[in-house]
Structure 1
Amino acid sequence: MHWLAVAIGGALGAMGRYGVTAHLLPAGAGRIPLGTLTVNVVGSFLMGVFFVLIVERGLLSPEWRSVITAGMLGAFTTFSTFSLEAFLLWQHGHTQVALGYVVVSIVACLAAVALGIHLTSRLV
């Protein structure tokens, strides 16, 4: 039953990512893929929030950890897509944009997870 719950969480996360990257913020040629950047930053923030709620505070049962983190957020965020997009930007001669995308993604995602942990720890 737990495997099914993780799979459902993954399906929800994948649908959310598809909605953001394909419909809300589709990528343009030679530009930073804002959809992927957005889902990775938001997903990192939510990872920090749920880490506090599940692991540090125990407000959600441990069973929810894999459903939310591996399932929903694992499918919502997408390092493999980020990697391919950065590589394609570089390969098509947009070296500065690719480098900027990599730096902004890493810094923003680390900041987002830290912010999620910090805010949730203070609020809960």
Structure 2
Amino acid sequence: MNRSALRFMIIFILLPQPSFSQSNDQEAIRYVQHRLETIKAILRTSPQNASNACVEALKKIIDNKNKPLTTAQSLFNQDIKFTILRALTDNALLLCSVDAQTICSHQHSNEIHKSCEEIINEVQ
């Protein structure tokens, strides 16, 4: 092994890894799911303000979740499915949070007041 490859491996091992990169990090998964549910609650109050991109991103999550894995598929395929689902969720968060912020800025009813505060506080 050459020196630059060894140096790279040492740096990679010593650098702290972000918590979201670990598929078993339940706290990170709960956070992301809570954030998505908060955004969806806001969008439900004014569905006509949800963009097509947001709606399509949410549909892709549902489609991926509903796609069954057969028992013949390996744990590796389950990890791939989780990674895809995580990417789809991140995409939905990006696309739908803009729509939720727009709804909160124009319509701040008591029904969504707490949800809007959560979204606004995370942006700041």
TM-score when normalising by structure 2? 0.39
In terms of Rg, which structure is larger? 2
